[in-house]
A and B are shown apart, each in its own frame.
Chain A
């Protein structure tokens, strides 16, 4: 399997700060569904930022689809869902408008939207079960429905790699369960690589093939069934 993500001997510290990551080695093959978890402050968000090419490691290399992550030329191949709390604007934005925004990078800066783009956007909305709410302002939807809309936004770019950073923060347990099931279904249907970053496993543990526990370095990398019992709650990861 070709690799979607490859980190080799990656170490990182913010200027003047202690080391955040030490000698991290990680390979994620195309089509895998993995979750990256760990206690708060353990370095998982930094790992994500290096993986996406937003930070340069002090030592080691980070590759995306075989290219240096910081110089990755085909960024439209990435679907990204940021933490829920940093999304959104004050003005009412319909589900269709939000999802269409996820299509812009794939379409190109100056090329107008065409019929094909509108079809892809409609299909993405339909896939997450929000077709009946496409014209409704996203601010009027429940937390779980909003998360589905943001997933549709990521899907609208027809990504090969979907990266989700704490996507269910602030969402109730039922919505988290439904969200995890939706991701599992999308992974089966689309075959895209999915990297799910969270400080807890929750419902997602039942759908991923592999869990990666980060606390300064990778302390566990394997199937969910192989996790030592206390580590199913990543905040209990101690070395």
Chain B
């Protein structure tokens, strides 16, 4: 059977396309602001959301969305208010998130294959309602990024300068954090909670080695993310592998080659 004849693969590719484009677009601004690993932490909180979904019999994706956005905005608030000490508060939020997730999952008796699908992604579990939710959220997130592109660049280049000249830096930081939360929630079906941060970061690192401007770095990151997801899903289908691992290994390979090529070029 051709890969495109299976309905679940068409759903996986459609969802993956949204994820592959959105994750590096949001990740670009996180990487520039030295917040590369925040997606990992938000993933921990999203896990608590998934677990709550199982325990209270509500949509795991919807519950993860609420948990991820709440955690991301909370983290940004702590960072802005407490600076370095906020870093310790982040650890508290993130590990509380994963601990609460484990407790709720075991209380719900859901330590099973379905849970693994959320942790590492699955090509079998994307439903039509998942796709509708993910496509809608992805389109809104990308539209917001396009609308706020120049202010976000200005803050990334010089946050204090942006604040002095009147840009609402705190508001933009909160919007970016919320977008990171949305990205984690919409990506977990395909890439998995534990691996989504990689798709937000690795394509940005590799694109930066080839591009000649901010705009081309963002564009190339999105293209790399999309290609990694589509190729990873294909490998996952034929190799019967968890898609999250295949996607991230491909993105990592591209990053290693790009960094090596960049080092050779600059010798």
State A104–B152 Cα separation when bound (angstroms).
10
Q: How far is the CB of B224 from chain A (nearest CB, A)?
A: 14
**Cβ A52 vs Cβ B158 within 8 A:** no
A91 within 8 Å of B by Cβ?
A: yes
**Cβ A94 vs Cβ B212 within 8 A:** yes
**Cβ A110 vs Cβ B163 within 8 A:** no
Q: How far is the CB of A55 from chain B (nearest CB, A)?
A: 12
State A92–B32 Cα separation when bound (angstroms).
11
A141 within 8 Å of B by Cβ?
A: no
B122 within 8 Å of A by Cβ?
A: no
**Cβ B211 vs Cβ A93 within 8 A:** no
State A104–B211 Cα separation when bound (angstroms).
23
A78 within 8 Å of B by Cβ?
A: yes
Q: A97-B213, A100-B150, A113-B150 are in contact. Are A90 and B160 (CB under 8 A)?
A: no
B225 within 8 Å of A by Cβ?
A: no
A222 within 8 Å of B by Cβ?
A: no
Chain B residues lying within 8 Å of A113, measured Cβ to Cβ, are: 150
Chain A residues lying within 8 Å of B148, measured Cβ to Cβ, are: 109-110
Q: How far is the CB of A81 from chain B (nearest CB, A)?
A: 7
B147 within 8 Å of A by Cβ?
A: yes
Which residues of chain A from 107 to 123 have a CB within 8 Å of any chain B CB? Answer: 107, 109-110, 113
State A227–B72 Cα separation when bound (angstroms).
53
Q: Which of B32, B162, B208 contacts A105 (CB 8 A)?
A: B162
A173 within 8 Å of B by Cβ?
A: no
**Cβ A101 vs Cβ B158 within 8 A:** yes
Which residues of chain A from 52 to 107 have a CB within 8 Å of any chain B CB? Answer: 52, 54, 74-76, 78-82, 86-94, 97-98, 100-102, 104-107
B215 within 8 Å of A by Cβ?
A: yes
Taking each of B162, B163, B213, which has the highest tally of chain A beta carbons within 10 Å of its own beta carbon? B213
State A94–B212 Cα separation when bound (angstroms).
7
**Cβ A137 vs Cβ B156 within 8 A:** no
Chain A residues lying within 8 Å of B161, measured Cβ to Cβ, are: 80-82, 87, 102
Chain A residues lying within 8 Å of B147, measured Cβ to Cβ, are: 110
Q: Which of A79, A88, A98, A105 contacts B167 (CB 8 A)?
A: A105
Q: Which of A80, A87, A97 contacts B165 (CB 8 A)?
A: A80
Chain B residues lying within 8 Å of A42, measured Cβ to Cβ, are: none
Q: A82-B158, A94-B213 are in contact. Are A101 and B150 (CB under 8 A)?
A: yes
Q: How far is the CB of B15 from chain A (nearest CB, A)?
A: 28
B residues neighboring A (CB under 8 Å): 28, 31-32, 147-148, 150-151, 153-154, 156-158, 160-168, 204, 208, 211-215, 217
A residues neighboring B (CB under 8 Å): 52, 54, 74-76, 78-82, 86-94, 97-98, 100-102, 104-107, 109-110, 113, 135, 137, 157, 163
Known contacts A80-B160, A82-B160, A92-B213; can you find 7 more A-B pairs with CB under 8 A? A54-B163, A82-B158, A86-B160, A91-B31, A91-B214, A93-B213, A137-B213
